[in-house]
């Protein structure tokens, strides 16, 4: 069977499906996953262990043999906990083959092979009987099937099947129950991730298309580290509402359901956003609780457990509405087998409240399909928009012919509003093109702007009506870019269009620079930290797999992370480590850069943060990384709009901060690949 994997191609701006060789190592997928984060989540592991011990004890107290079914066993950790707690036998189900192989190795290494059977199947394919996977039905059901939305990984269908086919009636379940909570808030910050807001352009007002304002938006959850959203950036309009609970010890239904919670509005405001999270009761009494609540709900926020495999959810109401203090409201959550959605009704009106939608909201305006939520935030960033408008104003003339190269960008609209003679825009898809046309139509700007769905290398003078380009502009933003430097696709576009540019054409941005800073992460380091032992069990085979992955690669790679969600301290100064001149065509030969970043602060260096800055003009720069200078203590404030690159060191380095050690770096930009090879090492004097 052929294997294909998606790979971003920075030279074409496309997502290519590449056939992997037979040597493709799927252990890399494990290495890049968050298993290390789960294994390092002591709060989760401890609560599961407590719940498992209690469940096994209850079954033994009834004089019964303890047979456990562990669905989604992963490393086999929970199965080993069950046997250690006294279970007679455990069936551990894992559908992902490399992970099932890892679980077999870990179970054998810990001496549990005689009491734990690893089953490499989806749980709905597991059978019971003399010739089946299970010899008998289980009386203890252990699962870890949850995601940030609770049910997004198919927990409900899996539970439904298990109760009908794989476990005894009245079985014990760990966790025993899950409860979903929600809070209605007003937030300019979070609201900017859902709708395009009006933009001021030198006294004129650019309005979003009416279809966008009426659209219910994307149904998918927005999962983030809500602990990093300051309570000062939103206003609670409701108390924390208990929306619904699911009892996992009884038959579970995956059919559509809705649940409502009534409350009185706490203050006047605009109902925009729902903040949501859940907790797990590991036992029937609810005395063992594993909570996903953000840190600012804790009396002492620093005591809140950190985890990345489970975060918190943000939902956007289909329609924003004004509420007044004291108003009686009803918040309704609906769910099918895989997702949740919310609606709000007023109970104080004489007319009957609007019924909750029975089907998931879906985008009808195209904007929520073209623009991601961080992209909405970027387009609504007034400071950033003003930088582009000032830069455009400095290069535009009455006879300017502009060409914009960015996906779903408002730059063509801005250029037309600023008086450019003719504006062209290259769009990567029909949907993106139609969306920007809606924006132009809503603001009576269609005249003088032409959007083309054509690749840069295929553009001809005829497509431009015989005109030559006097201003080539880009944000740059491309939907297929994964790492910060993938936006260098703009450079490839500029080179492909060289024959259509006037000799004195302005290029905006004129250049870009790659920046780096060595950092100490508060928590993110956990996702790549060695596991060794976990709750007393040897899970080192996971570390061996990660190391195997790293050795398999030609060089260690950076990975994308939204660093505003993951606090870190800078241990060195930030520095531009490479510069790319967009006023010239892309070179044929590789570009290399070498240097070092001396440690200026004491701390544990986990890796290097990387980002791009775009120099629109000589004095206007837009950063996709740090948005403010690093503080004296090393605190960093990161852009929420783009992901930054993170290169994790294989082993953390303890810095004394006296300048006696440094992070040495080597970068090579390969024009033929459009990617940057990099290496880092610690050097001492």
- Which residues form the catalytic set? 144, 153
Residues contacting residue 295 through CB under 8 Å, at least 6 positions apart: 227, 301, 302, 304
Instruction: Give DSSP secondary structure letters for 485-513.
Output: GGGGHHHHHHHHTGGGEEEEEEEES-EEE
* Residue 654: Cβ within 10 Å count: 11
Element (H, E) at 681: strand 675-684
Exposed, middle or buried: residue 122 (CB in 10 Å: 0-12, 13-18, 19+)?
A: middle
Of 472, 352, 310, whose CA–CA distance to 404 is shortest? 472
* Residue 239: Cβ within 10 Å count: 13
* Residue 251: Cβ within 10 Å count: 13
Give the tokens for residue 182: 């929600």
Element (H, E) at 36: helix 35-39
How many Å apart are CA 498 and CA 53, to the nearest integer? 70
How many Å apart are CA 184 and CA 310, to the nearest integer? 21
Percentages of the chain per state (helix, strand, coil), in multiples of 5 = 25, 35, 40
Q: Are 420 and 401 in contact (CB under 8 A)?
A: yes
Dmax (CA) for the chain in angstroms is: 90
Q: Where are the alpha helices (DSSP H) in 195-304?
A: 210-214
Of 115, 174, 166, whose CA–CA distance to 138 is shortest? 166
Give the tokens for residue 560: 């994308």
Q: Are 153 and 147 in contact (CB under 8 A)?
A: yes
- The per-type count for the chain, helices as H runs and strands as E runs, is 15, 36
């Amino acid at each position: 069977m052929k294997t294909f994997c998606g790979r971003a191609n920075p030279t074409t701006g496309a997502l290519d499906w590449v056939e992997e060789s037979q040597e493709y190592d799927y252990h890399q997928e494990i290495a890049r996953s968050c298993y290390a984060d789960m294994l390092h989540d002591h709060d989760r592991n401890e609560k599961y262990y407590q719940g498992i011990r209690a469940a096994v004890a209850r079954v033994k107290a009834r004089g019964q043999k303890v047979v456990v079914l562990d669905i989604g066993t992963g490393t086999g950790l929970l199965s080993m906990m069950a046997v250690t707690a006294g279970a007679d036998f455990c069936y551990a189900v894992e559908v992902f083959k490399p992970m099932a192989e890892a679980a077999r190795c870990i179970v054998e290494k810990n001496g549990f092979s005689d009491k734990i059977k690893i089953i490499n199947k989806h749980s709905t394919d597991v059978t019971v009987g003399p010739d089946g996977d299970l010899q008998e039905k289980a009386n203890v059901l252990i699962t870890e099937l949850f995601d940030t939305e609770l049910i997004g990984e198919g927990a409900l269908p899996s539970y439904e099947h298990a109760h009908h086919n794989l476990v005894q009636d009245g079985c014990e379940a760990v966790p025993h129950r899950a409860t979903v909570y929600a809070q209605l808030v007003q937030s300019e910050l979070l609201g900017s991730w859902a709708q395009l807001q009006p933009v001021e352009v030198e006294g004129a007002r650019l309005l979003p298309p009416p279809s966008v304002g009426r659209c219910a938006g994307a149904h998918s959850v927005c999962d983030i580290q809500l602990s990093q959203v300051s309570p000062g950036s939103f206003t609670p309009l409701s108390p924390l509402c208990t929306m619904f609970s699911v009892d996992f010890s009884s038959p579970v239904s995956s059919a559509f359901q809705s649940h409502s919670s009534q409350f009185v509005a706490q203050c006047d405001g605009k109902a925009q956003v729902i903040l949501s999270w859940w907790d797990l009761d590991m036992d029937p009494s609810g005395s063992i609780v594993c909570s996903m609540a953000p840190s600012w709900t804790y009396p002492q926020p620093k005591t809140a457990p950190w985890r990345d495999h489970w975060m918190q959810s943000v939902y956007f109401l289909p329609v924003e509405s004004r509420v007044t203090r004291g108003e009686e409201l009803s918040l309704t959550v609906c769910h099918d087998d895989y997702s949740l959605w919310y609606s709000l009704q007023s109970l104080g009106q004489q007319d009957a409240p609007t019924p909750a939608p029975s089907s998931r909201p879906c985008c009808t305006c195209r904007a929520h399909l073209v623009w991601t939520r961080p992209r909405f935030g970027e387009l609504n960033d007034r400071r950033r928009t003003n930088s582009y408008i000032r830069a455009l104003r400095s290069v535009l003339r009455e006879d300017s012919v502009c060409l914009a190269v960015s996906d779903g960008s408002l730059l063509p609209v801005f250029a037309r509003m600023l008086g450019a003679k003719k504006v062209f825009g290259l769009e990567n898809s029909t949907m993106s093109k139609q969306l920007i046309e809606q924006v132009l139509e809503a603001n009576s700007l269609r005249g003088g702007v032409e959007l083309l769905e054509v690749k840069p290398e295929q553009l001809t003078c005829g497509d431009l009506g015989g005109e030559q380009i006097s201003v080539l502009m880009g944000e740059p933003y491309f939907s297929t870019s994964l790492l910060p430097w993938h936006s260098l696709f703009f450079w490839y576009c500029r080179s492909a269009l060289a024959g259509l540019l006037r000799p004195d054409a302005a290029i905006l941005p004129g250049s870009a620079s790659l920046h780096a800073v060595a950092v100490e992460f508060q928590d993110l380091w956990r996702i790549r930290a060695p596991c060794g032992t976990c709750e007393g069990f040897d899970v080192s085979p996971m570390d061996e797999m990660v190391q195997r992955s790293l050795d398999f690669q030609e060089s260690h790679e950076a990975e994308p992370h939204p660093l505003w969600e993951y606090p870190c301290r800078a241990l060195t100064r930030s520095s531009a480590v490479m510069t790319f001149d967009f006023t010239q065509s892309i070179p044929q030969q590789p570009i290399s850069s070498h240097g070092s970043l001396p440690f200026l602060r004491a701390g544990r260096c986990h890796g290097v943060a990387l980002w791009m800055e775009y120099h629109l003009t000589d004095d206007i720069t837009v950063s996709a990384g740090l948005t403010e200078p690093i503080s004296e203590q090393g605190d960093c404030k990161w852009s929420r709009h783009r992901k930054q690159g993170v290169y994790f060191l294989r082993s953390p380095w303890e810095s004394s901060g006296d300048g006696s050690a440094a992070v040495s770096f080597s970068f090579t930009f390969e024009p033929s690949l459009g990617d940057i090879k990099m290496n880092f090492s610690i050097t001492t004097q």
